[in-house]
Structure 1
C-alpha cells in the first residue's frame, strides 16, 4: 500500500500524469479550494487534495499517523467516504471514472441498482472517450495502482460509503451534507430505458 504523501508527490512531479488525471478522470490536484471551514463531526483534520470539474472536492481524513480515508464532497451538498486510503481512491477514479453516476442511480445504496447503472455507464464511457482503456492502463501503471473491473470497484465504493459512521459527517458553512447515495434507480434515466443495454458490468 503506497503512502498518500508519496502518491501526491508522484502526481505533482509528473505533468503528463497530473494533466491526464484532471482531464480524463476528474482528479485535479490544482483544484484544492473547497467549502469554507470544512470539518468532520468527529473533529478529525481534513486535507483538501484535489477537485473535479463540478466543484466537488477530495479530502484526506485524519493525520499521517494513521490510515487516511478519502472523503468526497460534491458541490450539491452530498459527501461521504469513498475509499480507505488514497491508493484505493485513485484505483476507483482511474478504473471507473463514472463512479459518481453509479452513486446517483443507486436507489439509496442498492448494489443491484449500482451494478445495473454501471453497465450502462461503462458503455457510455467508451462511446464518449474511445481512448479511455489506453489512458486507464497508462495512468494505473504510472501510479502503481491496480486496474480493476468496474464491478469490483463499485462494490467496494458502496461498502466504503455505507461503512462510514456519524463521525465522518461532513459539515461546512451551509450545514451538514447528505449521503452520496442518490435516490434514483437506473430506470429513471430515460435514455437507458430506450434501449436494451447490458445489465451487468464485467469490465470496460
Structure 2
C-alpha cells in the first residue's frame, strides 16, 4: 500500500474528516467519476481519486521517485500539476483557496499569487469563520503539516509551473486543457474588496 493509498483509506474510514474535506475544502472522494474521459496528453496513466462540487477532478499520476504526483482538471477546461504527492496536495487544498490563487495569478506570477492568496484567505475566513480550525483538524487527523500561506503559494506555483510537458491534461479525443494559471491579477468587477 502506497502513502497515497493510506491517506485515501484514512479519509474514507474517518467520516468526520471525509465530511470536512468534502464540505469545506472541495475534495470529495465519492466523486471519482468526475474524471471520466480524461488522460494525460503524454499517454501516462491517471487515477481519479476525488472530485469537487463544480465538476473538477483530482488524479494520482504514475509514481516518480517514490511519489505519485497529483493533477487537477476543472470542468471549464483547465488542468495541470498541483503537487508532487497526495500529502502535499492536501496541505495546499486545506491551506489555500488554491484554485482561485492560480486563477488570479497574472499568468503565473508568484508575487501576484501571494497577493491573491492573502485576499482570498480573508474572504475564506469571512464566509467560514471555522475554516482555520477545520484545516487544523484535518491536518492533525491525516498527519499533514500546517504550513504558512506564503510557503504553500510557492509550492503550488512550483508544481503548476512544471505541468508541461508531462502533466498536460487531455480528453480522450485529444483536446488539451488550458493551464491552471489565469491571466488576471484580481477579479475584474470590483477588484479585491
Provide TM-score, normalisation by structure 2. 0.93
Q: Is the 8 A contact 1:35 1:172 kept in 2?
A: no
Corresponding residue of 1:61:
61
Corresponding residue of 2:156:
157
Q: Secondary structure at the match of 1:33?
A: helix
* Larger CA deviation: 178-187 vs 7-16: 178-187
Corresponding residue of 1:19:
19
Structure 1: runs of 5+ lacking an equivalent? 196-204
Q: 1:4 to 1:127 in 2, by over 3 A?
A: same
C-alpha distance in 2 between matches for 1:137 and 1:51 = 22
Q: 1:64 to 1:15 in 2, by over 3 A?
A: farther
The answer as to 2:45 corresponding to 1:45 is: yes
Q: Give the RMSD, CA atoms, in angstroms.
A: 1.7
C-alpha distance in 1 between matches for 2:18 and 2:35 = 23
Corresponding residue of 1:112:
111
C-alpha distance in 2 between matches for 1:131 and 1:186 = 25
Q: Deviations over 1:3-23 (max 9, x none)?
A: 001000000111111011000
C-alpha distance in 2 between matches for 1:111 and 1:191 = 18
The alpha-carbon deviation at position 119 of structure 1 amounts to 1.1
Corresponding residue of 1:143:
142
C-alpha distance in 2 between matches for 1:4 and 1:135 = 21
Q: Secondary structure at the match of 2:158?
A: helix
The answer as to 2:77 corresponding to 1:72 is: no
Write out the 4+ residue segments of structure 1 that deviate beyond 6 Å after TM superposition: none
Q: Deviations over 1:154-174 (max 9, x none)?
A: 111000010232122111146
Corresponding residue of 1:182:
182
Q: Is the 8 A contact 1:36 1:172 kept in 2?
A: no
How many residues end up aligned between the 2 structures? Answer: 191
Q: Is the 8 A contact 2:39 2:172 kept in 1?
A: no
Provide TM-score, normalisation by structure 1. 0.88
Q: Is the 8 A contact 1:72 1:79 kept in 2?
A: yes
Q: Is the 8 A contact 2:35 2:51 kept in 1?
A: no
Matches within 5 A, 1:185-204: 185-186=185-186, 188-192=188-192, 195=193
Q: Is the 8 A contact 1:107 1:113 kept in 2?
A: yes
* Larger CA deviation: 32-41 vs 111-120: 32-41
